[in-house]
Amino acid sequence: MLNHSSLRAMLMTALAGFSMTGLSACGPMGPGKLRNDQLEYSRALGDSQKHEMLLNIVRLRYADPPTFLDTTQVIAGYSVSKSVSGGFYAYPATAVGNYLFGTGTMSLGESPTFTYQPVTGQQYAENVVRPISPTVIMPLSLGGLPIDTLLRLTAQSIDGLSNVRGIGAGPFGGGSVRFYLLLHDLRQLQLNGAMTIRITTDAPPSTDSKKNGGKSDSSNGSSGGAGGGAERSYLVLTSTSDSNLLAIQAEVRRLLHLDPAAEEAEIVYGPYPKHPGKQIAILTRSMLAMLTQLAYEVEVPEDDIKSGRTPPTIGQVGIENRPEVVIHSGKEEPDARYAAVSYNNTWFWISDRDFQSKLAFTMVQVLSALAATNHTGGAVVTIPAG
Summarize the confidence of residues 333-341 as an average pLDDT: 93
Confidence of residue 158 (pLDDT cuts 50, 70, 90): very high
Query: In the prediction, which pLDDT does 371 show?
Result: 85
Question: Is residue 18 pLDDT above 70, yes or no?
Answer: no
More confident residue, 226 or 102: 102
Query: In the prediction, which pLDDT does 304 show?
Result: 94
Q: Using one digit for the tens of pLDDT, what is the confidence trace for 67-122?
A: 888 777 777 766 666 666 655 555 555 555 555 556 667 776 777 777 777 787 88
Query: In the prediction, which pLDDT does 277 show?
Result: 92
What proportion of the chain, given as a percentage, has pLDDT over 70? 68
What's the whole-number average pLDDT of the chain? 79
Q: Using one digit for the tens of pLDDT, what is the confidence trace for 263-278?
A: 999 999 999 999 999 9
Query: In the prediction, which pLDDT does 214 show?
Result: 43
Question: Is residue 140 pLDDT above 50, yes or no?
Answer: yes
3-state SS, one letter per residue, for the chain: CCCHHHHHHHHHHHHHHHHHHHHHHCCCCHHHHHHHHHHHHHHHHHHHHHHHHHHHHHHHHCCCCCCCEEEEEEEEEEEEEEEEEEEECCCCCCCHHHCEEEEEEEEEEEEEEEEEEECCHHHHHHHHHCCCCHHHHHHHHHHCCCHHHHHHHHEEEECCEECCCCCCCCCCCCCCHHHHHHHHHHHHHHHCCCEEEEEECCCCCCCCCCCCCCCCCCCCCCHHHCCCCCCEEEEEECCCCCHHHHHHHHHHHHHCCCCCCCCEEEEEECCCCCCCCCEEEEEECCHHHHHHHHHCCCCCCHHHHHCCCCCCCCCCCCCCCCCCCCCEEECCCCCCEEEEEEECCEEEEEECCCHHHHHHHHHHHHHHHHHCCCCCCCCEEECCCC
